[in-house]
Structure 1
């Protein structure tokens, strides 16, 4: 069975080209009747009537003098398109390759290779598809590579087959690319964890296979360190244009759909995201940005509801769908046979599959925070770490990423404990093996001039951290502490958070007004409850969901470009996953303040280009499950 086929339309087109412009011997004149018969056979193939087309070509071969092999080749290709490669066997056996010209000998090899694979003869198929002296026209290169990959896989060379499919990735799109990616990762998983780790260790950071190996290891349940995000050029840089200034990379779709749960367990989170989305939408209008209309659809927080909402949005004319929100919803939308409209999913699917070629993923992952905490500690000269986390899923995911990144950066995990009783943590501290050192004073602010190269990473909720840290003080543990954003409620509470003084944590820059060009957090939080406390990060996430809309294609096509966002600096990897670089903050006198002041950089743009007209204000909610319209 063939693992991947070019689209039917493309295959028909190629067959028609071969038939009408094939390498027919130029020294033999064709009669008008023969020309008409050849065109009729080609027309049958174009209509999808491959069996009749094959019979017509065989009739031409029987009547022709000097062109028999040309017509037999076309007949065999028609049988292949019918999915009946075995029917072509007898015809292929009659073809004399020395009488073929142009690309016809290669096309014959490809047919014979496919026939060999159908007969469980991968050695012959590999020989026919691995001839180094063969010049391959672009129209046949993908098919050659695909057959070679199948032959390698059937021969047991899973690594070679995967590498060949990965070479094909950039030349594919849509369903073909999605299927090819699944097959490439499936082959890598067969290579095995030990071999993949060994190969990854020998690769340079710019090896194109490294990200694929990491992806396969991740799908096998191995926590891997992700490559560092490169931030070279912000999107939206002002570029001089004829008579006006334009912003580089800005391209808004004609109509946008926003899919969010309007009821159920995720309704409250959806409110913060939706209001953040439209806050950024309105702000873009104030910056004179052209904005498309936006319609909001209720996905109901279920896989079936998300698929129905997506299909309705497509039917209503959406050119980009933002959402859905939950992992199961995203998996369901991505699991459709085709995505006729591109998607910016607001989470990552729960089946660990890569996004489709026309899909992007954007989520608030605890793994991102854990990995960046490890980077931050190593950059501070702290290469030894103890880990203290709660039993929550987010904490354990953050800890796994922290450990993988720390090891990749040359650090060492000295101990770890999952705390279940925060009223008495001494047992957990002993489990982690944290040494008790003499206090040098009452200030617990991390001191990078200290001789120690050890720090503590925590991931837990604010009330848990408020109970943990005083007990660590009593136990004379005064190592610098680094945390995920979960340690901060999202708003200042100097009285409750004074026990957290000195703790550094990563978070969304918008909470501290640290990213220029965005609406003021304090002003919005004063007016909108959805932007306060724990909802603030979701509000920032919603803002970035809109801010990404006009720059998605640019980010994917220009590695190193990034969007200065509310939830972090945003860049897209080769698989369409939007990754975040967060800001670092520290508790001082019970107040959380950014370490670097702000993210001000040279040439940081606003989030949208100028426009000549002012769009109408946007609505921001839907009722009764019906889409509402904005713009």
Structure 2
């Protein structure tokens, strides 16, 4: 979480710090600058000596003055100790506020959000404070919430603060910070806040604005939720003074190009993947033509180019205004290392590097693992056991699971890579049931007694994060139950589901929750139905590449809008799509749970409550689908 600068607040505290404390009966003498330090030392000791002989309220005043002088000298540690000796519960509100304010600011300056919030818990009622003190109190709370990563609470406090601001420039700054906090809030927290019945008009308007900005609801009609919000909330303060980084509807510029290059492999090991993505692009293109004007497409075989210079020269020779591709990771890396690109490229793979005008979009294992870890945290889980296959994509999912879960405040208790031929042993080791057996054996040997022993699993995990192919996942869930871990919730990536409903094969996956793309879990779109009519593999893992092509074509016009309005999401076939600061597309998946062997879509309506909806295709298929990732000649997979 980025920590907002508190310069203006610090300045305000410095200038007002004496004003909020009760005035001392014996004001300090003003010294010349050459002797200030020596006299301050004497003053500090004098103040503390007087405090030791004074009544509690007067003693608090004196200690506060001593702490202020110490802070001015940079001795914050001693100042903190002196302030901790003050019992704020017996003080009048003004003095109580002055002490707590100084304590809180010290904690914030030390990046200790927990300590700052503990001080603020004793802040006097706002009704007992002067208006300037109320505003300072609200901003201290906001800074503490910001530092602790509680973005929505930060936004709520800042929204309350707007009642005390009249200056338009200061109000604009406050609106900008409110918007930044709201955009950093999690979807689930925002959803819960929106449903509260006692929200004020101003708070509800801000919350609905944040929700409206998160999703471009209809690509076909190009409806704009912000415009709809403005029509409903025209009298709202945010409508009168919109946040500067929220793009107004009239200012949104969609990328409108006449010539698009499609840079995909039509030969070599990636040709089958390239062809599937190309089919998705052309399907979306035909649909666009039926609605009106559509750009001209130029198909280019990416295997004919080696360097970024060659690709850019070919694009310039064809007067292309945008390129979709390449797919090969090494070519994406080459473009990223080229530097600022002359035209936008929507690459269909990811690399660690980034460059201006290079957007990166793909079906990565990391995206799905991050989404699963986030869902687990949002459900209140804090101690994760990670199970992933000992493969390249499994290792990448493992790292993404761990990084995300820990960054959100969770603890990873164990990370286990399994192999198909040693599943039982690998899971037993992960759950430490093998250790309990060994302890029992050792105890029998030591005592000579043949006592009964009840095997137990480790008790420090409350969730399992899983990435596994269907054939492995169908074995893993029963093994977990055998080793007494059947009660642990399992959050999985899409690899656990073949893509085709098969109740008989998937019955052992009951209870497993997994994220997958709307192409698989939602009712089929017009584009999906068009491809279903001419292809027989749209429900396999390979079929997901069609969805990638469709989204790549539908995504490009909105790249600038996604970049301009942080947190905006575009509903696509591969998920809800958002753009990160380094121009990488992040996918938020749809979620489902296996019930009676069938996936049922679920919606998170509160921390641990799910709403069930029926799967859209009830037919059962006994055929096992060939997974595209298993094709030996392929270097690019949906995993």
Give the whole-Å Cα distance in 1 for the aligned partners of 2:597 and 2:287.
32
Which residue number corresponds to residue 319 of structure 2?
317
The answer for unaligned runs of 5 or more in structure 1 is: 1-200, 207-225, 437-450, 599-631
Which residue number corresponds to residue 402 of structure 2?
403
Which residue number corresponds to residue 512 of structure 2?
503
Which residue number corresponds to residue 347 of structure 2?
345
Structure 2 contact 413–461 (Cα < 8 Å) conserved: no
Query: Structure 1 residues 329 and 317, CA, compared in 2 at 3 Å: closer, same or farther?
Result: same
Which residue number corresponds to residue 237 of structure 1?
223
Give the whole-Å Cα distance in 2 for the aligned partners of 1:415 and 1:402.
11
Give the whole-Å Cα distance in 2 for the aligned partners of 1:493 and 1:307.
48
Structure 1 contact 514–597 (Cα < 8 Å) conserved: no
Which residue number corresponds to residue 414 of structure 1?
413
1:535 aligns with 2:542: yes
Give the whole-Å Cα distance in 2 for the aligned partners of 1:539 and 1:247.
33
- Choose the corresponding residue for 1:326, options 325, 328, 336: 328
TM superposition shift of 1:275: 1.0
TM superposition shift of 1:411: 1.6
1:278 aligns with 2:282: yes
Which residue number corresponds to residue 563 of structure 2?
556
Give the whole-Å Cα distance in 2 for the aligned partners of 1:289 and 1:577.
29
TM superposition shift of 1:248: 5.5
State the 4+ residue runs in structure 1 displaced beyond 4 angstroms: 201-206, 226-231, 245-249
Which residue number corresponds to residue 594 of structure 1?
601
TM superposition shift of 1:597: 11
Structure 2 contact 284–527 (Cα < 8 Å) conserved: no
Structure 1 contact 320–341 (Cα < 8 Å) conserved: yes
1:298 aligns with 2:314: no
- Choose the corresponding residue for 2:526, options 506, 511, 519: 519
The answer for unaligned runs of 5 or more in structure 2 is: 1-145, 152-182, 188-210, 217-221, 229-248, 435-458, 606-639
Deviations 1:463-491 (A, max 9, x none): 12123223333333202211111111222
1:266 aligns with 2:265: no
Give the whole-Å Cα distance in 1 for the aligned partners of 2:562 and 2:475.
43
Give the whole-Å Cα distance in 2 for the aligned partners of 1:249 and 1:338.
21
Query: Structure 1 residues 310 and 202, CA, compared in 2 at 3 Å: closer, same or farther?
Result: same
Which residue number corresponds to residue 495 of structure 2?
486
Aligned ranges 1:361-372 → 2 under 5 Å: 361-372=360-371
Deviations 1:487-506 (A, max 9, x none): 11222222222222221111
SS in 2 for 1:368: helix
Deviations 1:240-262 (A, max 9, x none): 9xxxx999643321210011111
TM superposition shift of 1:299: 0.5
Q: Which has the higher contact order (CA 8 A, sep 6+)?
A: 1
1:546 aligns with 2:570: no
Give the whole-Å Cα distance in 2 for the aligned partners of 1:247 and 1:530.
42
Deviations 1:581-605 (A, max 9, x none): 111112222222321399xxxxxxx
TM-score by length of structure 2 reads: 0.51
Give the whole-Å Cα distance in 2 for the aligned partners of 1:229 and 1:316.
43
Give the whole-Å Cα distance in 1 for the aligned partners of 2:331 and 2:559.
21
SS in 2 for 1:570: strand
Structure 1 contact 386–434 (Cα < 8 Å) conserved: no
Aligned ranges 1:69-80 → 2 under 5 Å: none
Structure 2 contact 261–324 (Cα < 8 Å) conserved: yes
RMSD: 3.3
Deviations 1:33-59 (A, max 9, x none): xxxxxxxxxxxxxxxxxxxxxxxxxxx
1:253 aligns with 2:252: no
Query: Structure 1 residues 502 and 467, CA, compared in 2 at 3 Å: closer, same or farther?
Result: same
Aligned residues: 353
Structure 2 contact 433–483 (Cα < 8 Å) conserved: no
Give the whole-Å Cα distance in 1 for the aligned partners of 2:287 and 2:460.
47
Aligned ranges 1:150-229 → 2 under 5 Å: none
SS in 2 for 1:579: strand
Give the whole-Å Cα distance in 1 for the aligned partners of 2:375 and 2:384.
12
Which residue number corresponds to residue 455 of structure 1?
463
1:390 aligns with 2:389: yes
TM-score by length of structure 1 reads: 0.51
Give the whole-Å Cα distance in 1 for the aligned partners of 2:296 and 2:149.
45
Give the whole-Å Cα distance in 2 for the aligned partners of 1:530 and 1:329.
28
Larger helix fraction of residues:
2
Give the whole-Å Cα distance in 2 for the aligned partners of 1:281 and 1:203.
46
Structure 1 contact 205–227 (Cα < 8 Å) conserved: no
